[in-house]
Amino acid sequence: MKKNVVWWPAIVHKENAQKYGDYNYFEYTRKSWEYWCERNDVLFVPFTEPVEDDLFRFRPNWQKIIFVFDELERLGIDYDQIFLADSSCMIKWNAPNIFELTDRKFVGWNDRDNMRWIYDSIQGYKSFFNGFELDQYSYVSSGVIIFNEIHKEVIQGFKKLYLDNIDKFIDLQDNIVKKGNDQTPLNYWLQINNVELNLDLPIAFKLTHMHRKDLFSHNWQDGDDKTPFFIKYGYNWVFNGIPKDTRSTLIKETWDLVGHNYNMDTAKYDKILDEMLHKDTAKYTTSRKLKLDILEKFGNGKYKDKTIVEIGASQGQSTRMLSHIFKRVIAVEWDDWNLEQAHSNNSDRTNVEFVKMDLYNDKWEDHLPEDVDVVFIDAGHEYYQVKMDIENSFKRFGNPIFIFDDYGFPPGEVKQAIDEKVNVGDLVIDKFIGEKPEDLVHASGTKFFDMEGVICNAK
């Protein structure tokens, strides 16, 4: 199956190591992309071994573009769109999935950082390209571009152009123009070949020359928030245009500030979990950890055709999480205000049905279907209520899997009802989920005495 790819050129040019600060920054920028790719179901493909070993004749900047299709095919990668992101780029952990914004065109960002450098570079290569009038306002940075299979022919043509004129290009690059490597020739090639460019994506995805834009600054007039603007508002931080020997230090300092957000253990589900509130800020929902545990337990694809009933949906935060796992989510709630909020919080989810019912007075068969596979119980917290929810679930749904929230909620009536069913053999504990009592941060300060939740099977 085709997958979107991040193509990450990071070839160490040992002879240039001094100039590039020993490439120590690779460690951090790589981790950022690995996380982002996992989070967005994108394939991360580092390009670390050159195709050609002579790195003066074949500069890494040239190799990253002219060999991209050859390498992806050699590696047997079934690519869809390809995001070429230089190793000096660090992606923000929660940057949107850019592949959804491209219109499947060749995406670039007009480079207006040092317009004189660009102008001079364009003029320098003009005669090589037979006087072609290049539009500087369509000139893109070659270190942040997105393309796909329809651009293979034009990129392969660019490779041929380089191979056929390699000595001339090296002379222009090193002795005559001395303004970049592949970038300006690539721009000529794209424009000469009338490649349709999408130049309209937000600049947040290409924050080059951040010092020039004052993006390393923060709101120095207003109190405590010293978070630099580029971190707050940018998506793809490109550490270029700065002295190259300072790059590693700057990137490490950035990583020290934000690295904790790139947790590979949770990357697969973080995007879903960022869509909703958790117990640390909203007392009426579950913790992030409990939701993560449910995603890990049920998000393996086996439940994508199954139905879950959520008993006590409250404002629909966990409902939203469940809608990413199950085919059908039936969310039961009694309170009108909660129902309104739950609707609003799930307005874009197409597999959620809300049911207003009084769980302890209405007949379940009047409101809920029989063919339910999993039931998530998080309604009344008194002993008799939990007991009724369990018994009614058995009665209506047969032998569903049970997920319980608030197992360790004081004074202990939820736990009492569950434990009783376990002790008599109606339920078998599969695993405890969510936070341990000592780790649970509750928005209203409630202290739990046992685990936050538990998954049980019917015997």
Partner 1 sequence: MPSKNIVFMIAVNTENKKEYQYSINSWKYFCKKNNAELFLLDESVVDQEEMHIIFQRYYLFDMLEHNEIDYNQILMVDADTIVHPDCPNFFEKTNDEYCLVHDDGSYDWILRGMEHYHKYLFTDEWFNFWDYGNGGFQIVNKKHKSFFKEMINLYFENKELIIQMSNKFGIGRDQTILNFMLHRHKIDTKLLSYKYNMTCMPKKEILGDDHLYSKLGWVYHFNGIPDKNTNVPLLMEKTYNFLYDNLDD
119 binds partner 1 (CB under 8 A): yes
x/- letters, 85..114, toward partner 1 (CB under 8 A): ---------------------------xxx
| Contact set for partner 1, span 150-179 (CB under 8 A) | none
Among 1, 49, 116, 226, binds partner 1 (CB under 8 A): 116
14 binds partner 1 (CB under 8 A): no
Q: How far is the CB of 413 from partner 1 (least distance, A)?
A: 40
H or E stretch covering 456: strand 453-458
Kindly state the DSSP code that residue 401 receives in the 8-state scheme.
Answer: E
Among 17, 115, 166, 264, binds partner 1 (CB under 8 A): 115
Q: Which residues pair with 353 in a beta bridge?
A: 330
113 or 420: CB nearest partner 1: 113
Q: Is 5 helix (H, G, I), strand (E, B) or coil?
A: strand
Q: How far is the CB of 222 from partner 1 (least distance, A)?
A: 7
Name every residue whose Cβ is closer than 8 Å to that of residue 6 and which is 6 or more positions away in sequence.
Answer: 33, 36, 37, 42, 43, 44, 45, 83, 85
- Contact window for partner 1 (CB under 8 A) among 53-61, 221-229, 365-373, 437-445: 221-229
139 or 298: CB nearest partner 1: 139
Among 54, 133, 164, 222, binds partner 1 (CB under 8 A): 222
CA pair distance 223, 18, nearest whole angstrom: 40
Token pair for 412: 């202990």
- Contact window for partner 1 (CB under 8 A) among 44-52, 199-207, 405-413, 445-453: 199-207
Closest CA to 333 of 305, 306, 352, 307: 352
Whether 278 contacts 288, CB under 8 Å: yes
215 or 309: CB nearest partner 1: 215
Q: Is 177 helix (H, G, I), strand (E, B) or coil?
A: coil
Among 13, 22, 23, 117, binds partner 1 (CB under 8 A): 117
x/- letters, 201..220, toward partner 1 (CB under 8 A): -xxx-------xxxx-x-xx
| Contact set for partner 1, span 279-308 (CB under 8 A) | none
226 binds partner 1 (CB under 8 A): no
| Contact set for partner 1, span 371-390 (CB under 8 A) | none
Q: How far is the CB of 221 from partner 1 (least distance, A)?
A: 6
74 or 112: CB nearest partner 1: 112
Whether 376 contacts 310, CB under 8 Å: yes
144 or 308: CB nearest partner 1: 144
Rounded to whole angstroms, what are the CA distances from 65 to 51, 237, 441? 11, 21, 48
Token pair for 333: 């709630």
- Contact window for partner 1 (CB under 8 A) among 227-235, 265-273, 325-333, 372-380: 227-235
Among 24, 171, 233, 274, binds partner 1 (CB under 8 A): 233
204 or 422: CB nearest partner 1: 204
Burial 255-294 (b: 16+ CB within 10 A, else e): beebeeebeeebbbbbbbbebbbbbeeeebbbbbbbbbbb
136 binds partner 1 (CB under 8 A): yes
242 or 388: CB nearest partner 1: 242
CA pair distance 436, 223, nearest whole angstrom: 35
CA pair distance 285, 276, nearest whole angstrom: 10
Q: How far is the CB of 258 from partner 1 (least distance, A)?
A: 18
Rounded to whole angstroms, what are the CA distances from 229 to 29, 161, 225, 419? 18, 41, 10, 51
Whether 207 contacts 230, CB under 8 Å: yes
231 binds partner 1 (CB under 8 A): no
Q: How far is the CB of 230 from partner 1 (least distance, A)?
A: 8
Token pair for 56: 């003066």
Ranges of H-type helices in 222-356: 229-233, 244-258, 267-273, 288-298, 317-323, 336-345
Size of the site for partner 1 (CB under 8 A): 24
Catalog residues that contact partner 1 under the rule CB under 8 A.
112-117, 119, 136-137, 202-204, 212-215, 217, 219-222, 229, 232-233
